[in-house]
A and B are shown apart, each in its own frame.
Chain A
Amino acid sequence: MSTATENQVMLHDCRDAFAATLEQLARADERIVTVANDSVGSSKLGSFRKQWPERLVNVGIAEQSLVGVGAGLANSGLIPFVCAASCFLTGRALEQIKADIAYSQANVKLCGISSGVAYGQLGPTHHSIEDLAWTRVLDGLEIFVPVDDVETAQVIRYVADSDRPAFVRLSRMGVPTLMSEDYQFRPGQAPVLRQGNDITLIGCGVTVCRALEAAEQLAQSGIEARVISCTSIAPLDRNTLLSAARETGHLLTLEEHSVRGGMGSAVAELVAQEAPCRMKLLGFESFAPTGAAGWLLDDAGMSVEGIVTSAHALLK
């Protein structure tokens, strides 16, 4: 990632915060179990398995069954965290997520690991740039995209406490810590990370740190950009987003997802109906080429420079 690494900022793999929090919760609550699809390593569940081998169910390479088994475990009174690569978890088992989880209101926590283009070179079959579009249309499913290690821990605590089904989208790309230690995540809350009244940059997950860097550069040319992390995709933070539309008049969304059906679309649906303003959606326009994750984001117009250019174009 361009400037974050240049400035020697410490980067975190949010899967570490995910695993550590899950283990803390599991120590205190015996109902917490995990379900994996031959993905124990990539979901960082190795240490969980060591401590509670019988509380990790590895169903094998069988994602439809994975989600169904999760629903059954919830039905038996347990709190299952169902972990798999986000592309297969959501795509392969979409109907199970609809019928067994969302429609049945099963208390399952779906954890989509290595989401977005984290698996850059493995190619579009392994990119997960459709997962928000697929899940966002399902009624009764909360969807969260944490921005850093602090927020990941918070989101995992929240979903464990809540009795509602949720989908948590987790990357494996390194991100800097953006939230303070005393930050308190709430569903339907989009944290505002920078104030400004000329334009609003709305990121989600790994793109938020790029939005902050772009805002820094825009400030040098006298443009004050507000920066919002749209952590909560469902429910959306209507107040924060509508205020941004009304107060800044220009919304630039950037996400590690297809431009069709993702976070930007969710914001556009809201704003178009209640506070129309100028808007530009950055994200993937097509299946991505081969390449490393950071490069793919740059290539899709989400380098810091690319974001700045899009912001200027939107303000013209």
Chain B
Amino acid sequence: MVDRKSLPPVEVARHCHSMRKLIIQTIGTAGMGHIGGDLSVTDILGSLYFHVLQYDPEQPHHPERDRFIMSKGHCAVALYTVMASAGYFPVDELSTFIQPRSRLNGHPCNVKLPGVETSTGPLGHGLPVGVGAAIGAKLQQKSWQVFVVVGDGELQEGSNWEAAMTAAYKQLDNLTLIIDRNRMQQGDHTQDVTSMEPLADRFTAFGWETHEVDGHDHAALINALTAPRTPGMPRCLVAHTIKGNGISFIRDRVEWHHKVPTPEQIEQALAELESTP
């Protein structure tokens, strides 16, 4: 198992910066991708893969690995990018995203791509699967951890709240839920569809240990993800993020949920990333 804990937050930040470039390039080449949510979740994924998670890209099914579930599967490009950067497959393969018969589907498929824990795409599936994996670890007295990333819009699916009840009741202190709280969903600001607030209090009321964290601050994320656990409680991090973070014209704009930049916009985006260290 590779021990990633050696990477300090500045190094994680460097990886995330390169990942943003890869995300832009991959979506540009494919002409498809959920760019807004890919860029809001980048720092969360980077913090997990380059500091927190225990895994071995050479042995993606290693039984002692931590389980990471990307429930917001529409942000497959962000997941593929962090997996490629972590050594699961060559970075060059990102250019095959959504090409005929590619294993880099529009939404991640675990059967095609080892290292993906479970196929996602329909929202509201990741947390129940994560709860099952966490119960499985307890039953078998395993020490590995389970991490799940969901979108805030995705939390409108009731399956999450069913799983949230089970997680607390089963005292799953080996489970961490990270909410990519970018305050937007497909067609609207989340607030204009249904209020999610008080989001953290809702999880607290369900029996979770809950924290709010800046989802673009690697040190803060890593601290929150690795802090000692409260025995018997699942942990929820409300990670405050910005949809499209890092690119001026995509940042915080609802219309960039699933829109592809023009070749000129891609150049501009890459130039912007070039000029910010």
Which of A40, A125, A291 lies in contact with B73, CB distance below 8 A?
A: A125
CA distance A41 to B99 in the complex (A): 25
Give every chain A residue within 8 A of B185 (Cβ-Cβ): 38, 60-61
Q: Which residues from chain B sit less than 8 Å from chain A, CB to CB?
A: 32, 73, 98-102, 104-107, 109, 119-124, 153-154, 156-158, 185-188, 193-194
Q: Can you identify 8 A-B contacts, CB atoms within 8 angstroms?
A: A62-B156, A63-B157, A92-B122, A123-B105, A123-B121, A125-B107, A290-B101, A290-B105
Contact with B along A38-67 (1 / 0, CB 8 A): 111100000000000000001111111100
Which of B32, B99, B121, B157 lies in contact with A125, CB distance below 8 A?
A: B121
Task: Decide yes or no: A40 and B187 within 8 Å by CB, A60-B193, A122-B106 being known contacts.
Answer: yes
Cβ contact within 8 Å between A38 and B186: yes
Least Cβ–Cβ distance between A300 and chain B, in angstroms: 13
Least Cβ–Cβ distance between A93 and chain B, in angstroms: 11
Q: Is the interface of A mostly helix, strand, loop or mixed?
A: loop
A121 within 8 A of B: yes
Task: Decide yes or no: A123 and B193 within 8 Å by CB, A40-B187, A61-B156, A62-B156 being known contacts.
Answer: no
CA distance A274 to B154 in the complex (A): 48
Contact with B along A177-207 (1 / 0, CB 8 A): 0000000000000000000000000000000
Residue in B closest to A126 when the chains form the complex, CB atoms: B121
Give every chain B residue within 8 A of A40 (Cβ-Cβ): 187-188
CA distance A126 to B32 in the complex (A): 15
Cβ contact within 8 Å between A290 and B99: yes
4 nearest A-B pairs in the assembled complex, by CB-CB distance:
A125-B121, A60-B156, A122-B106, A123-B105
Q: Is the interface of B mostly helix, strand, loop or mixed?
A: loop
Least Cβ–Cβ distance between B111 and chain A, in angstroms: 9
Task: Decide yes or no: A61 and B106 within 8 Å by CB, A38-B185, A41-B186 being known contacts.
Answer: no
CA distance A65 to B109 in the complex (A): 27
Which of A38, A62, A64, A290 lies in contact with B106, CB distance below 8 A?
A: A290
Q: Which residues from chain A sit less than 8 Å from chain B, CB to CB?
A: 38-41, 58-65, 87-88, 91-92, 119, 121-126, 289-292, 295
Cβ contact within 8 Å between A123 and B153: no
Least Cβ–Cβ distance between B116 and chain A, in angstroms: 12
Least Cβ–Cβ distance between B11 and chain A, in angstroms: 33
Give every chain B residue within 8 A of A290 (Cβ-Cβ): 98-102, 104-106
CA distance A46 to B99 in the complex (A): 31
Known contacts A60-B193, A61-B124, A290-B102; 5 additional CB pairs below 8 A are A38-B153, A38-B186, A39-B186, A61-B123, A123-B121
Give every chain B residue within 8 A of A65 (Cβ-Cβ): 158
Give every chain A residue within 8 A of B123 (Cβ-Cβ): 61
Residue in B closest to A295 when the chains form the complex, CB atoms: B100
Least Cβ–Cβ distance between B162 and chain A, in angstroms: 11
Cβ contact within 8 Å between A126 and B107: yes
Give every chain B residue within 8 A of A87 (Cβ-Cβ): 122
Least Cβ–Cβ distance between B254 and chain A, in angstroms: 10
Cβ contact within 8 Å between B153 and A60: yes
Which of B101, B107, B154, B194 lies in contact with A122, CB distance below 8 A?
A: B107
Give every chain A residue within 8 A of B194 (Cβ-Cβ): 59-60
Which of B106, B109, B122, B153 lies in contact with A121, CB distance below 8 A?
A: B106
Give every chain B residue within 8 A of A64 (Cβ-Cβ): 158
Residue in A closest to B98 when the chains form the complex, CB atoms: A121
Among B73, B101, B107, B120, residue most surrounded by chain A Cβ atoms (within 10 Å): B107
Give every chain B residue within 8 A of A124 (Cβ-Cβ): 105, 109
CA distance A125 to B32 in the complex (A): 17
Residue in B closest to A299 when the chains form the complex, CB atoms: B100
Cβ contact within 8 Å between B153 and A61: yes
